[in-house]
Structure 1
Amino acid sequence: MIRGMTVLLPNRRTPRTFGVEEEVVLLEPGTLAPVDVADAVIEEIADLDASYGWVGHEFLRAQLEFSSPVLDDAAAADRVVREWRRVLAGAAGRRGLIAASIGTPHGPGVSSVAEGERYERFVAELGAVRPDHSIQGLHVHVGIASREEGVLIMRALRPWLAPLIALTANSPCFAGRDTGFASWRTLVGRRFTTASVPPDFADAADYERRVAALVGLGTTLDSGAIAWMMRLAERYPTVELRVFDAQLSADDTIEAALLTRALVETAAAGALPHDPAAAHAEHLDAAVWHAARHGLDAGLVDPTTASVAPAWDVIERMLEAASPALDAAGDRGRVESLLERTRAAGNGAARQRAALAEGLPALERLLRTSFADSPVVE
C-alpha cells in the first residue's frame, strides 16, 4: 500500500472467523531440556471443556498441540487461549516442569518421537535432520469464501511473510547454544521437502494439481504434510499461516492472529500490493532468510519497493495497510499493543536473549511468567 492511499474494503457484515493452533514444549528446570511426559499431561487435561478447544499429541513426546474452536473476535480468543494455558501451566507445574511456548527449546537433549505409523514414516524420511526437528509453531487459520479466494490471498501475502517472521521471531537458541538467528525454527523448517514461501499459484486448480504432484515425495506423506509457511487447509475453509514461531505470551499469540486476520481481509480486498520484484522466488527466499537471521535488528525487504528499508518502517507500512480491516473488526488497539510492546522489549527472540544474559534462572522466569497469566500450581 502506498502511503496516503484510501482503501475500501468489501461490505462484510461480520469480520472473518479465525482459529489458532499452539504447539508447546515441556522443559526441565535447571537445564531447559525437553521432558517426554506429554502423554501423561494430555491424559490429565483431556477433560478441558471442549468449548475452549482441543489438546493433542504432536511429533515429539515432549510436545502438545492446542487447537482452538472457531473464533469470532478478540474476546473469544482471550477466553480460550488463556484458559488452555492456565490448565497446562498447572499440569506442568504439578510435575515440576515448565510449559514453554517457544519456537525451539534452549536446553540439550532430544525428545523421543510419539507413537504412530505416520510419525514413523516421517522419521524414516528425515534421516540426519531428525535430531534438529524439535520445533514449535503458531498456526493461524482465517476463514475464506472459497479456495479461489484463498489462492488470491496467498498471492498477495507472499511478500509479507518475511516481515511477519521478523515481528514474531521467538527461537534464538537450540541445543544449549545461541544460534545467532532470531528464528532458528524457520531455518530448520527450510529442510523439509516443501518449505518456506509457497509458489505463486495461478488459481485453485493449479494449487490442487501441484500439491497432488508432491504427495509421496520425501516428507510430503500426504496433502496434510505440506509444510509451506502458508497453505490452504484441507479440512477447513481457511487459509492457514504457519509462518510464526510459537509465541511467549497469550497476548503475543492473540494479537498475531488478529493482525493475520486483518492482513487476509486486506489481501482479499486487493489492498495489499507489492512491487513485482518482491514476489520473485529468489527474492522471497532471501528476504525470509534475512528476517529469520536478524529479526527486527536490521533492515527488512519492503514489499512495496522490493528494497531494504528500516525494519520498523516496513512493520508500520504493514500496519497502515491493515488498518481499515483492523478498524472494521475493532482490533486496532490490540495490534498496536503488540507493536508497542515489541518496540519496547523486542520480539520473543530479543526477550529471551535479554533474560539469558542475566543467567538461565532469568530465562526460566521469563518462560514461566509469559506462558500464563497466573501460572500457579493447583
Structure 2
Amino acid sequence: MLWDSAQTARAHDSTLFDATRREDSPMRARAMQGRSASNWRAVHRAQHFLATPGGWLFVTLAVVILVIMATTPRHVSSVLDQDNYLEYFRRTTWDWFVSTYKARTSTLSFVISTVTEEFGWRAWVVGLNALGFTPETGVRITVVMLNALVFIALLEVRRPLLGLVLWAVVPMALATVGTFQIRQGMAFGIAMLFTLRYHRPVTGWVLACFIHTTFAIPALLLLTIRLCGDRRRLAFGSASAMAFMLVSSAGFLFKNFGGRRIEEYSGYQNDFTIKLVVLLVIYMTASIVFLYSEWKNRPDAKSTVWTELCTMHIVLVLYLLLAFLLFPFGKGRVWYCIPLMMTFIVPQIRFRNAFSIWWVVGIMLVLSAEVIKSYYEGVYAYFIGS
C-alpha cells in the first residue's frame, strides 16, 4: 500500500511538473522570440539604411577610412605611440602570461591584474603573433578592426551617417583612438558594439576593461545604473555615490593596483584644466538633451540601453568634476569617453522641438571650434598632412 501511495505521489508530481513546463514554455518561447525579433529589427533597419543614398555614402566613407588605415605608412617618427605598440607585439608572448601568473602574490592580486595588466589586449596580441603576423602588420590589423567595430556599432543609431562624420572629425575619435592610441579605441569599439548591437552594455564595458584599464570606471557606473532598473532618480543617485566613492578611493586604488600605469600617467594631470572641464560639461549636455527628448514624450518609458548609456555619460562627467577638485590624477584617459560617446549620442537624439535642435547646434559650434583648434595643432596631420 505504501509503495502504491509513493507511486501515486510521484505520478502526481510528474503531472504538475509537465503542466508547469507547458505553462512556462510559451513564456520562454515569447521571451526568446522577443529577443530574436529585436535582433531581426536591428538587422533589418541596418539593411534598409544601407540600401539608401545615405547608406551608400556611409559605406563609401567607411571604406575610404579603412583603406587609408590599411595602406598609409605608419612611421614611428610620424605616428605617436607607434613604437610602443610595436614593442607590445614584439615582447608579448605566451611566456608573458605564464610569468605573470607565477609572479602573483595571491589569487586576488592575479584576478585584479587581469584588468590592470589588460589581459584582453595581451591575448589579442598573442593571437595575432601566433598567426605569424609581423608587429607592423599586427598594429595595422588592430587599427582597421577597431574602426570597423565602431562603424558596425554606428549602424544602430538613428542617423549613422552623421555619427560617422562625427567620428571622423572629433579630435579624440578617429584622429586619436582610431589611429595611434589603439588600445583605447579597440576597447571603445567593443563596448559600443555590445551595447548597441547586442543590448549588453555591462558585458561590453566590462570586456573593455580587459583591453584598457580606464574603462573600469564607466563599467562600474553602468553596472550601478543597471542594478537600479527603471528607477531613474535612484539610478542617478546611486551612480553619483559610486562616482564619489571612486574618486575618494582613487589614491588608494592607483597606489596599490595601478602598477606600471602610475609612472606612465604621472604627467597627465597637468593638462586637466578648467577649460577641459567646461568642454566636457558642454559635450555631456548631449545626453541631457537626449533624455529630455525621450522622457518628455514618454514619461513612463522603461529604461533602455540608451537611457543607461546617457545616464552613465552624465555621471562620468560628475566623476571628472570631483576628480578635478579632489584627485586630478584620477582623470587619466577616462575623459576620452565623453567626446567619444558624443559621436553616438548626438545622432540618436530625436529633434522633437526647437530647444533640442538649437541646443545640438550649439554643441556642434563648440565642436567646430575644437576641430579648428586641433587642425592648427596638427591633430589631423596623419590624414591631411602637416
Instruction: Please classify the TM superposition score into its range, dividing by the shorter chain length.
Output: under 0.3
- Point out which structure has higher relative CO (alpha carbons under 8 A, 6+ apart): 1
Higher fraction of helix: 2
Superposition TM-score, scaled by structure 1 size: 0.28
Identify the structure with the greater strand proportion.
1
- Taking structure 2 as the reference length, the TM-score comes to 0.27
